[in-house]
Amino acid sequence: MDTTLQTAFDEMQLPAGAVREIYSAYADWLRDVPHQQLESKRQEAELLFRRVGITFNVYGETAGAERLIPFDVIPRLLAAKEWKVLSDGAIQRVRALNMFLNDIYHNKDIIKAGIVPASILANSQYRPEMHGVDVPNGIYAHIAGVDIVRTSESQFYVLEDNLRTPSGVSYMLEDRKMMMRLFPELFRRYSIAPVEHYPQVLLNNLRAVAQPGVQEPTVVLLTPGAYNSAYFEHAFIAQQMGIELVEGQDLFVRNNAVYMRTTEGPKRVDVIYRRIDDDFLDPLSFRADSMLGVPGLLTVYRNGGVTLANAVGTGVADDKATYTYVPEMIRFYLGEEPILSNVPTYELSKEDDLKYVLDHLPELVVKEVQGSGGYGMLVGPSASKKEIEEFRLRILSNPANYIAQPTLALSTCPTLVEQGIAPRHVDLRPFVLSGKTVTLVPGALCRVALREGSLVVNSSQGGGTKDTWVLNDLGM
């Protein structure tokens, strides 16, 4: 067994065997439930998820293959006071990050102040096309998925701020619906903060960022289509908000405006919640081979004919090389001390950092600067010697492409596995919404690494999900 499981902070059970207060009532309940009953609930959930079609496509597998993300029937519990810290901290970060984006696409004060190096403007995620473009309310990241991990009773770290097209919120909503169906008695017993209003909050925010002067804005969700891995989520959220789910081919540009093709003729579109990366948005401006986007969209966007959420060019702020500056951004723009910590990060473009990292590879996690989804990373403690040596060569061929962080002992939560209930590592992705105000609903996507000892929670790497309960009181 991996040692991380023994030394990691368990959110239910303390090393001495005592149960943490927040879990006390739930632990009693869990002790009395036969394993078989939990297992049959798990199977029921799987059946329902399959019927509803909550599936995702795995890149590299047979086209059209649909898989379920494993769902764990044991929830993660957070106390209201713990949630407040996370929530305040995430909101603080996103406020600062939006101000940062507005700044580097306008005056660049933070660079002039010498806090962030000018080299950031050479980052491939920096979009010169956005320079001087004003976006409604100065908001760039309307939806942000802030990944947070825990290592002790009071220590939380932000791993990354996903500011492009973060996904996973449908699991927050569907997992909750499933839990209410499977365990209604627990919802009666506990006071669990509701999350179901997320789509309404999002819709209100999206309507609020239409260009000034637009009455009754039309909002649509732009998806790459049914074969995208997150298609279910796109369909689900569009349905929950009651907006059209469109593909690039459904939209066209005319007279500095975007229209969708309907059976009644063209219909003006004011706000596009796009789930397509910058590169694919507009074949005339970015990748010419993209079939997903809308020719001419960027020109209309830059002229203020339509709002995109998230804005073009947010990638420069959630880049792993920019990440290290977020605490300084919070101090610079907000004059506040960061509520949530950054993970100490080594930038391999710096000579000292590179030397340290190459000397300590077995202890570190090394990631590509622009990687996502758990691809292209090295988890030192669980990698073989051969894997480490191979990765060393990759780093040396392009050091600036990598950052490294100490391996964090991610907290564990009780999880239903084949042998029974066992601790498994978890992370948390709350979704911060910016529009009129900056808010989040009290819940999150909680990902769990189902493989024993694994620290990688990504669904593409065998991760599952759990419902997250923010408890207003400690239950009965």
Partner 1 sequence: MKVLSRTADHLYWMARYIERAENMARVLDVTYNMSLVPNAAQSEAALWQPAVEIAGNTELFEKNYGEYTAANVIQYMSMDDANPSSIYNSLRSARENARAVRVAMSSETWENINTLWLEFSQFIGIRLVESGLSVFCDWVKSRSHLFRGVSFGTMLRDDAFRFVRLGTFIERADNTARLLDVKYHLLLPEGEEVGGAVDYYEWSAVLHSVSAFQAYQKVFSDTIVPWRVAELLVLRGDMPRSLLACYDEITIILGQLSGRQNNECRRLAGELHAKLRYARMRDIFQDGLHEFLEDFIVSNNKLGGEIQRTYLNVHGG
Contact 275, 234 (CB under 8 A): yes
Tell which one of 264, 289, 352, 418 touches partner 1 (CB under 8 A): 264
Minimum gap (Å) between residue 254 Cβ and partner 1 = 7
Minimal distance, residue 90 CB to partner 1, in Å: 29
Q: Quote the CA–CA distance of 193 and 24 in Å, as a whole number.
A: 18
The answer to whether the CB of 474 falls within 8 A of the CB of 180 is no
Could you tell me the two tokens for 290? Answer: 């993209």
Q: Which residues contact 429 (CB under 8 A, 6 or more apart)?
A: 145, 146, 147, 148, 162, 166, 168, 444, 445, 446, 447
**CB 267 → partner 1: shortest distance, Å?**
6
For residue 63, the minimal CB distance to partner 1 (Å) is 12
What's the full length of the chain, in residues?
476
Of residues 226 through 255, those in contact with partner 1 by CB under 8 A are 226, 235, 238-239, 244-247, 249-250, 252, 254
Closest residue by Cα to residue 341 from 121, 143, 159: 159
Q: Which stretch binds partner 1 (CB under 8 A): 2-10, 84-92, 265-273, 325-333?
A: 265-273
- Nearer to partner 1 by C-beta: 263 or 419? 263
Closest distance to partner 1 from the beta carbon of 199 (Å) = 12
Residue 75 beta carbon to partner 1: minimum distance, rounded to whole angstroms: 24
For residue 413, how far is the Cα from the chain centroid?
20
Pairing of strands 71-79, 463-471: parallel
- Which residues, 202 to 231, sit near partner 1 by CB under 8 A? 225-226
Question: What would the 3-class secondary structure string for 170-227 be?
Answer: HHHHHHHHHHHHHCHHHHHHCCECCCCCHHHHHHHHHHHCCCCCCCCCCEEEECCCCC
Q: Which two tokens stand for residue 469?
A: 């309960």
Measured at the alpha carbon of residue 189, what is the angle toward residues 183 and 191, in degrees to the nearest 5? 100
- Binding track over 34-53 against partner 1, x by CB under 8 A: ----------------xxxx
User: Applying CB under 8 A, does 265 fall inside the site for partner 1?
Assistant: yes
Q: Which of residues 404-463 bind partner 1 (CB under 8 A)?
A: none
Nearer to partner 1, 268 or 392 (CB): 268
Size of the site for partner 1 (CB under 8 A): 26
Asked if 117 is part of the footprint of partner 1 (rule: CB under 8 A), the reply reads no
67 binds partner 1 (CB under 8 A): no
The continuous run of DSSP H or E covering 416 comes out as strand 412-417
Cβ at position 262, least distance to partner 1 in Å:
4
Q: What is the DSSP secondary-structure string of 116-150?
A: S-GGGGGSTT--GGGTT---GGG-S-SEEEEEEEE
The CB-of-226 to partner 1 minimum distance in angstroms stands at 5
Nearer to partner 1, 2 or 244 (CB): 244
Decide whether 270 or 427 has the Cβ nearer to partner 1.
270
In the complex, the residues that contact partner 1 under the rule CB under 8 A are 50-53, 225-226, 235, 238-239, 244-247, 249-250, 252, 254, 259-267
